Structure 1
Amino acid sequence: MTDTLRHRGPDDGDLWLDERAGIALGHRRLSIVDLSVEGRQPMISGCGRYVTTFNGEIYNFPDLRSELSARGHSFRGGSDTEVMLAAFTQWGVVPALERLNGMFAFAVWDRERRILHLARDRLGEKPLYYGRIGGTFAFASELKALRALPGFHASVDRDALAMMLRNRYIPSPRSIYQGIAKLPPGTHLTVASRGLDPQPVKYWSAVEVAARGLDEPLQVDAEAAVEMIDGLLRDAVKLRMTADVPLGAFLSGGVDSSIVAALMQAQSTSPIRTFTVGLADAGYDESADARAVAHHLGTDHAEVRVSPREALDVIPRLPAMFDEPFCDSSQVPTFLVSRFARRQVTVALSGDGGDELFGGYNRYAWLASVWRRIGWLPPALRRGVGTALRSVSPGAWESMFRAAGGTLPRW
């Protein structure tokens, strides 16, 4: 299984087995923080109770380390994995989740209670699949690792396929295969018995956070709100710049990636590395914008031109990369810029998610306007209107909005 994931962790790999308990943990390591052997996984906690295989980064691990040190914990190395294990020892696995600020997917074996915990970060940045294969409970970062197990049967889940065609991706907890699930974002799962099918339990909910925001709106003026957002973004970027390996940023010249690059450069003592892929089709090529932003910020900018043939050559490789179908049109340029950047850096920040967080798409801008016009309609009639709207694909709506151009109202 771990051999199939060598591309995710090219620096190191190891296994931990407890034959009497019937448990095996494997890990492939991409070294980012603490490059020494003290950061090697699977890792055992200082107390000897917990063993983990962990994918991701805990951004607030320096603060957690200081707090845990004050409580009497000692540390062999400088990795965030060791700090996370100490947090489990201090507070327990599930309570410690509330304290972790990061992107992560991990499995931790409680040797004392003989319980396996799986958990995934709040927004699902790191993947985690699981299921029973030939009577064995198994989990992995990618589906290809599960396919390597004897007894795996690759039966397509037709309901999941229908969801993909409707949504352009397969939402959790489904995967493309029957019997294999994605652990949903912001959840944990406990495996305590061979005979029971465990169910994910939420420890964080975006819906609940949004509801609290509506119930208790921020009572500040626009200028103060801008200052708060600037401070939060600046802090978020700074936390992600902690690394013992070369660091850079993807730069398209758009608002999102430009903000990330600007905040990185503002908190760096030397020019940061930025990377852009230039495309032959002028309608999709953003390299000139990226070059202008890089010049303005004073970054160490690198650009590679990609021919249509080079882009087409990526397409046959996509199934092996992603394991299940999804319809993100950026998957080809993302691969190309990642491959290019990897020659110089190990970690790269990007502006992905900015449109979703800050309402950058046209459909978001129209929500308030549409609700003002139809909110007074009876629910049954609104449902009919909703059905009619959903019959048109998001791509078609985007095309219509672009064609309408300046005739659309601005917010």
Structure 2
Amino acid sequence: MSGLCGYLGTTEGAAVQHLLAGMAAPLVRFDDSPIRIAAAQRGGIAVAAAAGSASVHGSGGVLVAVWGRPLLNGCAENLAERFSALWQIHGAKACAALSGPFAVCAMAEPGGQLLLAIDRSGVHTMHYQQLTQGVLFGSSAAALQAHPMAVKTLDPQSIYNYLYFHTVPAPRTVFRGQRRLQPGEYVQYRHGHLETGQYWKMEYQEESNMSFGELKRQFLSTLEGSVRRSSGGARTGAFLSGGTDSSTLAGMLASVSGTAPRTYSIGFDVAGYDEMRYARIAARHFGADHHELYVTAGDVASAIPRLAAASDQPFGNSSAVPAYYCANMARADGVTRLLGGDGGDELFGGNERYAHQAVLSRYEQLPSAFRQVALEPLLFGLAGQLDLTMLRKARSYIEQALMPMPARLETYNLLQRYGPAEVLHADFLAGVDESGPIGQLNDCYWQGKGLSQINRMQTLDLRYTLADNDLRKVSLACELGGVEVAFPFLSDEMLAFSGRLSPKDKLNGTQLRYFFKRALRGYLPPAILRKKKHGFGLPFGHWLQRDAGLQGLVLDSLSDLKKRQIIRADFIDRLMRTLIAEHPAYHGTMVWVLMMLEQWLARSDAPVRK
């Protein structure tokens, strides 16, 4: 694992040397081979980074490190040195000159100044903690935790948020008092004062005057350039699920490389989960050097402890398992970097819930008098006792439509459906704010006030679905598998292009990806353009009922979790004895989330403060 970590404060001499040694420790978690550390220090400032992973420059009392593969004003040379000069002139505004995936820190002795920032999509992460003596920071929680002054206490609210979101969304982390930067965000520390701000935010043009032909030309040119930059300097392959995003990247990789693209797919021998047919269609269409693996329940059981150990904090997205085995295949094949299609759904309107919410929003367009005086009293009053299928569906539709956004998006949230009081131990629940998660969603959604619903949902998904979940999943899987990952759809140019699309280009009525699919007609096979989204979903709930090894791992984990007085023992019993059999896919998700929580907690010696 590579990383960037540092400290600004009053630490001196031997303490700084201890700090640098401690910061190096997490960089060898998954590899016993020696790792070289590029380090620089001056008084009370220090930074350490895995050699080759960061550009580090120190001069005149200023120390700068840039991690990742960004460009600075279009150039990749001497990143840290050039950013240092820019920062000293423009301050935090200098971050806008960086493009691509990055994490950056800049420190100066005079006045004890510090700047931390990450890229516009949150591909990289940056954790920080304010101390009495200064600021501690790291590009991973593990790097930050290596310092003896780092907070070791877990945050109950963050654990509650994990159970709600299946990840711990920024700006919180699982550790009390430690924070994580959000996409396009920076933090400055000056004269003992810490402040956060945004150097970038997504801009939308609700109306577009460009012709379809011009938009298509820009789109294909921009995507080809993104794939070219993402694949440069490495032996590159691509994830291939058989969906539109991964298939498009496989084709673009063939174009920019001039050779058969190396592609990697995962299958499952469970009805309704295996999408290998579509991956094969795409592979044949683009002449790929295609590789496949069918993952079993035993593979899942083997991967679970590794994923938990590699995670900075509890993480409950089970799709990390197939992504991990894809990365393993690629590494065995000599590939050093994989292209992921993440971001395509969010930028071009590909999520099924976009269409569903558009249908629900139509109810608001009916005259209010008709809704409140006639329709609702009829369905919930006179006809409320009738159990006819059509009436039930109509009542369900109106009940959902009457909920405000974005709370309406959480109708099927597992923790909400069960009820927090049914899931959580009373003492634990008393110490958290149950409204915290929806409050976060509201703050993000209504930042886009005045925008169309599809663009406000896009803003929400870029933060919570993508930066906090999908990017963390793929990055974790690839890190553990020993390969790099790049996301061509998330180049700065592609973000800007998405912002120029009209809402109708993303969602035309209930037609998802309206522009995207039109632009790729004749490029992608028709079967792939027609297919519904699936991806690398894991049939965990189905396997759990029939595989003894997986059952044993889960039962042992949940038995240990009962003892922590976070989750009610009777809920765990009901989940495993009755609910999982009633609906394996739905309730299996909660089993996975609870199991991964215990797997992570078992590897952490940090207490939960009530």
**When the two structures are superposed, what TM-score results if normalisation uses the length of structure 2?**
0.54
1:280 pairs with 2:302: no
Q: Which runs of 5+ in 2 are unaligned?
A: 1-22, 373-398, 416-508, 512-610
In the alignment, is the contact (CA less than 8 A) between 2:265 and 2:276 conserved in 1? yes
Report how far residue 235 of structure 1 moved: 2.0
Matched residues in 2 for 1:384 and 1:86: separation?
A: 53
Amino acid in the other structure paired with 1:334: A
Q: Report Cα offsets for 1:274-315 as digits up to 9, x if no partner.
A: 222233334323333222311211122222332220122111
Report how far residue 364 of structure 1 moved: 0.8
Matched residues in 1 for 2:412 and 2:219: separation?
A: 33
Partner of 1:106: 104
Q: Report Cα offsets for 1:157-214 as digits up to 9, x if no partner.
A: 2222222223332221111111100011101122223x43x121111112xx13xx12
Report how far residue 2 of structure 1 moved: 2.1
Q: Determine which of 197, 200, 203 is the counterpart of 1:204.
A: 200
Partner of 1:392: 411
Partner of 2:45: 23
Matched residues in 1 for 2:320 and 2:232: separation?
A: 26
Report how far residue 358 of structure 1 moved: 1.6
Report how far residue 111 of structure 1 moved: 5.3
1:323 pairs with 2:312: yes
C-alpha distance 346-30 of structure 1, shift in aligned 2 (>3 A): farther
Pairing 1:210-289 to 2, within 5 Å after superposition? 210=204, 213-214=205-206, 217-243=207-233, 245-289=234-278
Partner of 1:298: 287
Amino acid in the other structure paired with 2:37: D
Matched residues in 2 for 1:43 and 1:291: separation?
A: 44
In the alignment, is the contact (CA less than 8 A) between 1:15 and 1:24 conserved in 2? no
Partner of 1:64: 74
In the alignment, is the contact (CA less than 8 A) between 1:252 and 1:289 conserved in 2? yes
Report how far residue 114 of structure 1 moved: 4.6
Matched residues in 2 for 1:277 and 1:390: separation?
A: 29
Q: Report Cα offsets for 1:242-261 as digits up to 9, x if no partner.
A: 22x31111111111101111
Amino acid in the other structure paired with 2:225: D
C-alpha distance 17-176 of structure 1, shift in aligned 2 (>3 A): same
Higher RCO structure, 1 or 2 (CA under 8 Å, sep 6+): 2
Amino acid in the other structure paired with 2:261: I
C-alpha distance 227-42 of structure 1, shift in aligned 2 (>3 A): closer
Q: Report Cα offsets for 1:94-117 as digits up to 9, x if no partner.
A: 333222220111112235665221
Percent of paired sites with the same residue: 28
Report how far residue 27 of structure 1 moved: 0.3
Partner of 1:13: 36
Report how far residue 328 of structure 1 moved: 2.1
Structure 2 SS opposite 1:94: helix
C-alpha distance 7-237 of structure 1, shift in aligned 2 (>3 A): farther
Partner of 2:347: 357
Matched residues in 1 for 2:311 and 2:350: separation?
A: 26
Amino acid in the other structure paired with 1:276: S
Matched residues in 1 for 2:367 and 2:151: separation?
A: 49
In the alignment, is the contact (CA less than 8 A) between 1:8 and 1:30 conserved in 2? no
Report how far residue 136 of structure 1 moved: 4.8
C-alpha distance 300-110 of structure 1, shift in aligned 2 (>3 A): farther
Matched residues in 2 for 1:154 and 1:112: separation?
A: 30
In the alignment, is the contact (CA less than 8 A) between 1:123 and 1:185 conserved in 2? yes
Partner of 1:147: 145
In the alignment, is the contact (CA less than 8 A) between 2:66 and 2:79 conserved in 1? no
C-alpha distance 377-125 of structure 1, shift in aligned 2 (>3 A): farther
Matched residues in 1 for 2:55 and 2:69: separation?
A: 15
* Backbone CA RMSD of aligned residues: 3.2
Matched residues in 2 for 1:391 and 1:233: separation?
A: 33
Amino acid in the other structure paired with 1:320: A
Q: Which segment is superposed worse, 265-274 or 163-172?
A: 163-172
Matched residues in 2 for 1:6 and 1:93: separation?
A: 33
Structure 2 SS opposite 1:234: helix
Q: Which has the larger radius of gyration?
A: 2
Matched residues in 2 for 1:241 and 1:187: separation?
A: 26
Q: Report Cα offsets for 1:52-76 as digits up to 9, x if no partner.
A: 3322111x45x634xxxxxxxxxxx
Partner of 2:64: 52
Report how far residue 122 of structure 1 moved: 0.8
In the alignment, is the contact (CA less than 8 A) between 1:278 and 1:303 conserved in 2? yes
C-alpha distance 103-7 of structure 1, shift in aligned 2 (>3 A): farther
In the alignment, is the contact (CA less than 8 A) between 2:364 and 2:401 conserved in 1? no
Matched residues in 2 for 1:11 and 1:93: separation?
A: 37
Matched residues in 1 for 2:286 and 2:141: separation?
A: 40
C-alpha distance 251-48 of structure 1, shift in aligned 2 (>3 A): farther
Q: Which segment is superposed worse, 340-349 or 110-119?
A: 110-119
Report how far residue 123 of structure 1 moved: 1.3
